[in-house]
Amino acid sequence: MKEKQTQFLEMIKDIRSLPTIPGIVIKILSSIDDERTSFKEISSLIASDQTLSARVLRLANSPFYSVKNKISSISQAMLMLGSNAVKGLVLSTVVFKMMEKSAMGLWEHSLGTATAAHIIAKALKVAKAEEISTAALLHDIGKVIIRTKLKDEYEELLLQVEEKGISIKEAEMAWLDTDHTEIGEWAGRTWNLPEELIEPIACHHDVERSKAHQERTAIVHLADILVMASGFGFSGDRFVPPIQEAAYKVLDLNDPILEALIEEIESKLIEVKDFSQTQ
Ligand SMILES: [Fe+2]
Ligand SMILES: [Fe+2]
């Protein structure tokens, strides 16, 4: 078994098989990090790829950010959402293209979690809601990567989750000796994502482990659970895990707050459903 696990891990972590990220995207991701690149240069870099900028704008105008006025250019998106959020959006357009139609449930789960995270951040008055929402959009990115690399094995893994009544993270650990949070973190580093996006991806199932960005990690954790509980999309898990104590503490949650959040999230998810079906 150990040998098989190592083999899987090598396949997943083989950087050469991550070529689905086009050169232009790599360039955009590293340019946003580089302070010498101006805002205008980044905008025109994104705008130079028509398909990419159309996709970014579509996501920027999606119901999960609920911007009041339509965002019609990349520079406007950079201004209104912030460069880290745009960086996450650029990456999401590529990553989600990697998913086949059969992973529609995971796409909807991701969109739903991004929406819920935005609502939670706004309601709790946490700054940079758009960036948190983008981290939520990418939170299960590790699942997309594992799925793309190990197609048949992943189907088998999902069956195990169902048969044994375990969580997808437990099944990943048993089969691959790693899980989607670890793979997501690794990919985030490989692609040069900012820490603000990496930490919620890495720690959304273990809020306590998050150190520098615990508040936003707790929001992504909570958003993930509330979306699973609402039955929107499909993350691969049959059971909804409990909200972790650390998240209650960091966000200062109580039952009335949670009830209000659930109500707002569920009504917004109806709009997200329409959006995801026109993809
Ligand atoms: Fe997850
Ligand atoms: Fe999730």
Cα separation, 79 vs 102, in Å, equals 35
Does residue 20 have a pLDDT over 60?
Answer: no
Which pLDDT does position 19 carry in this prediction?
40
| Domain ranges, residue 130 | 2-277
For residue 263, how far is its CA from the centre of ligand 1 (angstroms)? 23
Q: Per the structure block, which two tokens stand in for 112? A: 């739903």
pLDDT by residue (tens digit) across 196-249?
A: 999 999 999 999 999 999 999 999 999 999 999 999 998 989 889 999 999 999
- What ligand is nearest to the CA atom of residue 224? 2
Residue 279: the pLDDT is 54
CATH number of the domain to which 11 belongs = 1.10.3210.10
Nearest ligand to the C-alpha of residue 184? 1
d(CA 116, CA 99): 22
Residue type, 158: L
Nearest to 261 by CA among 233, 228, 222, 210: 222
CB 206 within 8 A of CB 278: no
CA of 205 to the centre of ligand 1 (A): 6
Closest ligand to residue 183's CA: 1
Mean pLDDT of 6-29: 68
SS3 for 134-164 is HHHHCCCHHHHHHHHHCHHHHHHHHHHHHHH
| Number of DSSP helices (H) and strands (E) in the chain, helices first | 16, 0
Closest CA to 136 of 148, 147, 149, 126: 126
How many Å lie between the centroid of ligand 1 and the Cα of residue 161?
14
- CA 141 to ligand 1 centroid distance, Å: 8
What is the predicted pLDDT for the residue at 160? Answer: 87
Token representation of residue 142: 């590790």
Ligand 2 centroid, distance to 109 Cα (angstroms): 7
Looking at all shown ligands, the one closest to residue 225's CA atom is 2
Q: What is the pLDDT of residue 6?
A: 74
Secondary structure of 78-103 as H, E, C letters? HHHHCHHHHHHHHHHHHHHHHCCHHH
Gap from CA of 14 to ligand 2 centroid (Å): 24
Taking the centre of ligand 1 as the mean of its atom positions, its distance from the CA of residue 204, in whole angstroms, is: 6
Rounded CA gap, 239 and 242, in Å? 10
Distance in Å, CA 45 to ligand 1 centroid: 32
Percent of the chain with pLDDT over 70: 89
Which ligand has the nearest atom to the CA of 109? 2
For residue 180, the ligand closest to its alpha carbon is: 1
- Residue 61 has φ and ψ, to the nearest 5°, of -95, 10
Measure 139 CA to ligand 2 centroid, in angstroms. Answer: 6
Q: What is the mean pLDDT of residues 136-141?
A: 92
CA dist list (Å): 104 to 57, 110, 216, 236, 273: 21, 10, 26, 11, 11
DSSP class of residue 22? Answer: -
pTM for the whole thing?
0.87
Kindly list the distances between the CA atom of residue 62 and the CA atoms of 98, 206, 239, 268, in Å, as whole numbers in the listed order.
Answer: 20, 29, 28, 11
Structurally, the chain folds into a number of domains equal to: 1
Range 258-264 average pLDDT:
97
Distance 45 CA to ligand 2 centre (A): 31
